[in-house]
Amino acid sequence: MYLILLGAPGVGKGTQAKVLEAALGIPQVSTGDMLRAAKASGSELGHRVAAVMDAGHLVSDDIILDVVRARLQAPDAAKGAIFDGFPRTVAQAEALENIAPISHVVALDVAEDEIVARISARYSCGACGKPFNTLSSPTTRADGRCDACGGDMVQRADDTASAVVTRLKAYADNTAPLVSFYEGRGLLRRVDGWGDPAVITERVLASIGRESRSEPAAVKPG
């Protein structure tokens, strides 16, 4: 089974992909993880990736597709994979059809105002890096500091409300057309992505006609 998870930033694709690994017995493969692994491998492909990334440039579609091909040849991907963060464009989706037979495409739907609220609530400790969310997993300290080490909270520049709106526009311009692309191929399943992550996992599995192989992990939405 080759499953693609689609959705705007902050809908919980990464959270769901991790839980679905256990439920379906196939690995999550994300663009970022694949590029970092290729770079660290020391292979010819890894050197190509490193040269581009170290120069601060965007990795081309050709290189990304070569990385995907290499990742899917790993033993753990023999029965399929869960794509998280790939493809990002229709051109990548068309090329992916020549690499892996896509079984299902699940679009996690969350209202824009809920996404803005969810992402803009994310913080982390500037000292130890522990993540927090003022909505779902706030610090337990009254002074607002990290409850692990007492450090000050910091927020990523792209997690502010105004930055999130900009990211959502970029998603709508570049990645949302994939929804229409996969609808046209009869592969798309829309799933409500708001609520308890374990419940969302069951919705995803139901949408593709599968049952959980293990109890979904209790993960708070981030």
Reading the block at residue 19, the tokens are 């839980």
Reading the block at residue 147, the tokens are 């409850």
Q: Is 185 a catalytic residue?
A: no
CA distance 38 to 48: 9
Of 36, 88, 145, 210, the catalytic one is 88
Contact present, 49 and 42 (Cβ < 8 Å): no
Of 36, 69, 145, 167, the catalytic one is 167
Q: Is 122 a catalytic residue?
A: yes
| SS3 assignment, position 172 | helix
Of 39, 48, 71, 122, the catalytic one is 122
| Burial of residue 126 (number of CB atoms within 10 Å: 0-12, 13-18, 19+) | middle
From first to last of its 222 residues, the chain has per-residue pLDDT tens of 999 999 988 898 988 999 999 999 999 998 888 888 888 888 888 898 888 888 777 788 898 899 899 999 999 999 999 998 899 889 999 999 999 999 999 999 999 999 999 899 999 999 999 999 998 899 999 999 999 999 999 998 889 999 889 889 888 888 889 999 999 999 999 999 988 889 999 999 999 998 654 444 344 444
Q: Strand 153-154 to strand 122-125: parallel, antiparallel, or no bridges (unpaired)?
A: antiparallel
Terminal C-alpha separation, the chain? 27
Class of the 2-27+74-207 domain? Answer: alpha beta
CA distance 112 to 147: 30
Of 156, 169, 185, 213, the catalytic one is 156
Task: Report the predicted TM-score, pTM, of the whole model to 2 decimal places.
Answer: 0.79
